[in-house]
Amino acid sequence: MHGRLPTTPAALAAALAGGFDYDDGNGVDFEPFPEFLSAGETAGWFRSWTGNQEVDGACFRVFGQDGTGGYAAFWLVREGRGLVEQPVVFLGSEGETGVIARDLADFLWLLAGGVGPWEAAAGYGSEEGELRPDPAREAVAERFASGRRRGPAGVVADAGAEFPGFDEELMGLTR
């Protein structure tokens, strides 16, 4: 799974189509990439982010960033499972980290609820009343993850509960 970069899954491409409206801080701060970062780009970024020249970030497939340069990525931690079954993580420009969705289906519902990667990692959307659901992305989630409907707070809570050691693992790589 660490060889050639995969193509963007159709569900992810559909969910990211059209970009996101930041709406002066009231929307989603996310800029999707047209394709995954290359292995070289990922290695360069991860070495810089950790300050550790011995790591390469090969366990991440980066697909977008927030306005400050924090990255959203699939974390290839489930041995023998496909890309869409891997958790989605956020690695912020200031060192903030978090597992924000257990898999692509949960990530689709996170976006449908009006919460992007940075907002999920920062705790925005933990109160369902403050959300601005996205009808177009809700249609995508219904199409690709029917029967998995969940609110953003539940998506993020379950992801964090399933992978409680993510932050510590990453901090163990920093120099």
What's this model's pTM, rounded to 2 decimal places?
Answer: 0.92
Task: Specify which residues 75 forms β-bridges with.
Answer: 60
Residue 118 has pLDDT above 80, yes or no: yes
The residue-averaged pLDDT of 89-103 equals 93
**Is 1 within the bounds of a domain?**
no
Domain encompassing residue 126: 10-48+56-169
The structural domain count of the chain equals: 1
The residue-averaged pLDDT of 93-112 equals 94
How many Cβ atoms are within 10 Å of 97's Cβ, its own excluded?
18
Q: Environment class of residue 78 by beta-carbon count within 10 Å: exposed (0-12), middle (13-18) or buried (19+)?
A: middle
The residue-averaged pLDDT of 87-103 equals 93
Q: Which two tokens stand for residue 66?
A: 């927030």
**Is 5 within the bounds of a domain?**
no
Amino acid at 119: E
Q: Which two tokens stand for residue 84?
A: 């869409």
**Is 3 within the bounds of a domain?**
no
Q: Mean pLDDT in the chain?
A: 90
Q: Starting at the earlier edge strand, list the strands of the sheet with 71-75.
A: 31-32, 60-65, 71-75, 88-91, 97-101
pLDDT at 84: 96
Of 41, 21, 47, 43, the closest CA to residue 32 belongs to 21
**Is 174 within the bounds of a domain?**
no
Amino acid at 34: P
Of 95, 101, 93, the closest CA to residue 117 belongs to 101
Residue matched to tokens 């931690």: 77
**Is 103 within the bounds of a domain?**
yes
Distance of alpha carbon 68 from alpha carbon 116, whole angstroms:
14
